[in-house]
Amino acid sequence: MGLKLHNTFTRTKEEFVPVEKGKVKFYMCGPTVYDYIHIGNARAFIAGDVLRRFMKYIGYDVTYVLNLTDIDDKIIQRSQKEGVSTESITEKFSKAFFEDIDTLGIEKADAYPRATEHVEEIIVLIKRLIGQASAYQVGGDVYYDVSKFANYGKLSGKNIDDLRAGARVAVDEKKRNPHDFALWKNQKPGEPAWESPWGMGRPGWHIECSAMSMKYLGESFDIHAGGQDLIFPHHENEIAQSEGATKQKFVKYWLHNGFLQIEGEKMAKSLGNFRTVREIVKIYPGRVLRLFFLQKHYRSPIDLTDQGLQAAASASARLKIFYDKLNKVLGTIGNIRKEIDPKTLSKSETKFFDSFEKMKSALTEAMSDDLNTPVAISVLFDMVRETNKLLSRDDLTENEKMLLVYSKKNFDDFNSFLGLIDSKEESVDSKMVDALVTLLIELRNELRAKKEWELSDKIRDQLNAMGVVLEDKGRETEWRLK
Ligand SMILES: [Zn+2]
């Protein structure tokens, strides 16, 4: 079964066929390091991380590159506002970026190229475009001439004539066409600048990504991804620059995330509902935010609500409690044969094994279908439920113990790309869980004795949401994991 991905360029789900057999070259548009990353950024980076890890899981040799834009109008503005160097701004927010993605369980990329370290490559690419008359110099600026690229607008589905008609905004006298864009910007007083054939200046944003992606991944590579807001003009311009220069297909598959809203509204600094990853992870662990995003398909719009985050927090806790219990039980089992021989299984053991095998293929199939993580995660929770049935028994047969080992191996495999459980994280001490649940049961029983039903029900329901089921048997209350 092959992997299918939705390609923004063709607007269809396509079978993934790499440029070079067995290898994947994958570029993700990274942050402009002038502020903390927001949760829209996080969504794209998490989706990219899961795809990259899943591709490794199914056997590809993946090279994953994520750039840092460390020279840009926004960076200059912030440095001028704060009266510090642009370097001190970019250093601070690059460091914060790496901390944030680590919290979200995102694996390190193979390279994190920075624009300021690739000015030479950028200049070479601009010279190439000027040499082919795809770009022109006006004073100390260089512009890309969009009229020279026949396919301009193909990715975003925009028609260049419509674009021209609609472009009344800020007509720049220097440009031949309103949609020409800057490849090189002449230095303004007080701005950081580099030497170039066109005088002191700095690169435009779009050309950075063309130069850096082609340097690390080749002139024609497999996947380029980012948020939907990057389709136009950023990615459209990247195609024009790269294909304009190389006359080759730049990228085979363009992948974009759906839009994100906050409590039903568009997220914008002007609306005051701008949420950074830092703010959210102060309340909810990074893995909760990760689970929250992955419970929706990456191309679907998503609405970030407190209620949704709370539900994800309960689900995440359930997963964690389950995983710790599984590890604990396996710790008591000791040495065990690893291979399961289906012929030796009893009827109920066979039922477990067969249904687990079915869930395994359902999960991989969902992931292969344009990364359908919501289905994959619901199957994962089915597996939790099945395995919990075995875990709650204390008279396990040898075969059942082997089935637990097998279940654990599968959870580890799936976690290797979903990344929902932090295996480094200190495990929840199960004695502590015991003590806490017992305490809550006592409290609840006292409340019940006082007929405070609302509070006592709340305790029961909240525990239930976390996967702890209370069963009242006469005067005693017992608990078990769902
Ligand atoms: Zn980019």
What ranges do the domains of the chain cover? 17-257, 314-418, 430-481
Say how many Å lie between the CA of residue 230 and the centre of ligand 1.
8
Q: Cα(163)–Cα(161) distance, rounded to whole angstroms?
A: 5
Q: What is the per-residue pLDDT across 232-270, written as a single tens digit (0 to 9) for each?
A: 999 999 999 999 999 999 999 999 999 999 999 998 878
Rounded to 10°, the helix 373-391/286-294 angle is 120
CA-wise closest residue to 252 among 432, 15, 436, 62: 15
Per the model's pLDDT, the better-predicted residue between 271 and 197 turns out to be 197
- 104/50 Cα distance (integer angstroms): 11
Quote the pLDDT of residue 135. 97
Question: What pLDDT, on the 0 to 100 scale, is given for residue 431?
Answer: 63
Terminal CA-CA length for the chain: 33
Separation between Cα atoms, residue 219 and residue 213, nearest integer Å: 8
CA of 209 to the centre of ligand 1 (A): 5
List, for residues 151-189, the tens digit of each pLDDT value: 999 999 988 777 665 555 555 678 998 889 999 999 999
User: What is the overall mean pLDDT for the chain?
Assistant: 93
How far does the centroid of ligand 1 lie from the alpha carbon of residue 213, in Å?
Answer: 9
**Residue 381 Cα to ligand 1 middle (Å):** 36
Cα-to-centroid distance, 291 and ligand 1 (Å): 26
pLDDT at 419: 97
Location of structure tokens 């662990």: 285
Q: What is the pLDDT of residue 41?
A: 95
pLDDT of residue 340: 85
Distance 196 CA to ligand 1 centre (A): 22
Q: What percent of the chain has pLDDT over 90?
A: 78
For residue 262, the CA-to-ligand 1 centroid distance in Å is 25
**Distance between CA 403 and CA 390 in Å, rounded?**
9
Residue 172: closest CA among 159, 185, 161: 185
How much is the pLDDT for 132? 95
111 Cα to the center of ligand 1, angstroms: 14
Ligand 1 mean position to 215 CA, how many Å? 14
* 89 CA from centroid of ligand 1 (Å): 20
* CA 364 / ligand 1 centre spacing (Å): 30
- Judged on CB neighbours under 10 Å (0-12, 13-18, 19+), 147 is middle
pLDDT tens digits for 308-348?
A: 999 999 999 999 999 999 998 998 887 776 678 889 999 99
Model confidence over 348-394: pLDDT tens digits?
Answer: 999 999 999 999 999 999 999 999 999 999 999 999 999 999 998 88
Query: 210 C-alpha vs ligand 1 centroid, how far in Å?
Result: 8
Length of the chain measured in residues: 482
- Ligand 1 centroid–CA 235 distance in Å is 7
Spell out the long-range contacts of 269-275 with Cβ–Cβ below 8 A and sequence spacing 24 or more: 274/38, 275/38, 275/39, 275/304
* pLDDT tens digits, 184-210: 999 999 999 999 999 999 999 999 999
CATH topology of domain 314-418: Four Helix Bundle (Hemerythrin (Met), subunit A) (1.20.120)
- Write out the two tokens for 305: 């609500």
Cα(421)–Cα(25) distance, integer angstroms:
27
> For residue 465, what pLDDT is reported?
82
Residues 206/181, Cβ–Cβ less than 8 Å: yes
Task: Calculate how far, in angstroms, residue 69's C-alpha sits from the geometric centre of ligand 1.
Answer: 8
> From the CA of 411, how far away is ligand 1's center (Å)?
35
| Residue 375, CA atoms < 13 Å, CB-side half-sphere | 14
Q: Is the pLDDT of residue 428 over 70?
A: no
Ligand 1 center to 231 CA (angstroms): 10
CA of 67 to the centre of ligand 1 (A): 7
For domain 17-257, the question of CATH label 3.40.50.150 is answered with: no
Q: How far is the CA of 28 from the centre of ligand 1 (A)?
A: 7
- List pLDDT tens digits, range 89-134: 999 999 999 999 999 999 999 999 999 999 999 999 999 999 999 9
Question: What is the identity of the amino acid at 57?
Answer: Y
Rounded to the nearest whole angstrom, what is the distance from the C-alpha of residue 435 to the centroid of ligand 1?
Answer: 51
* Tokens read off for 207: 């050309």
Q: In angstroms, what is the span from residue 277 Cα to ligand 1's centroid?
A: 20
Write out the DSSP string of 146-183: GGG-TTTTTTTT--HHHHHHH--TT--TT-SSTT-EEE
Quickly state the pLDDT bin for 74 (edges 50, 70, 90): very high
- Between the CA of residue 302 and those of 91, 299, 318, what are the distances in Å? 31, 9, 23
With 80 as the cut, is the pLDDT of residue 19 above it?
yes
From start to end of 45-200, where are the E strands?
61-66, 135-138, 141-144, 181-186
Q: Are 100 and 37 in contact (CB under 8 A)?
A: yes
Single pTM value for the model: 0.88
Cα–ligand 1 centroid distance for 175 (angstroms): 23
pLDDT score of 333: 82
Report DSSP state, residue 235.
Answer: I
CA of 259 to the centre of ligand 1 (A): 18
Q: Give the pLDDT score at 426.
A: 53
